[in-house]
Amino acid sequence: MARTYRPLPTGTRVKLRGAPSGVTLRNPMGIIIGPDPDWAGYYRVRLDEPASYHRSDGTTEPLPVLREADDNLDIVQPDR
């Protein structure tokens, strides 16, 4: 059975439910900047604060954008 993907429009405010392996989130909040062009059901999320990717040599790399599956994202309603 094929998985159904939920559409998340560009500009949607989201909260990541978790971090990918090897990544530390400083803040789980971000905004959808568009669907991933290569992976169906995944979105590019610009984080409010860059995450840190921990390389095997002990160095880190800042990640301002992550690729996340739609089911790892909670939609955040704007304050009214």
Q: What is the spatial distance between Cα 75 and Cα 80, in angstroms, rounded to a whole number?
A: 15
∠ Cα 65 51 21 (to 5°): 95
**Which letter, b or e, does each residue of 28-61 get, where b requires 16 or more Cβ atoms within 10 Å of its Cβ?**
bbbebeebeeeeeebbbbebeebbbbeeeeeeee
Model pLDDT, residue 2:
52
DSSP assigned state of 72: G
Express each pLDDT in 42-77 by its tens digit: 999 999 999 999 999 999 999 999 999 999 999 998
Domain residue limits, the chain:
13-75
Across residues 14-32, what is the average pLDDT? 95
Predicted model pTM: 0.87
Query: What pLDDT score does 1 carry?
Result: 55
**80 has pLDDT over 60:** no
pLDDT grade, residue 14 (50/70/90)? very high
Using CA atoms, how far residue 23 sits from 8, 9, 45, 68, in Å, is 23, 25, 14, 12
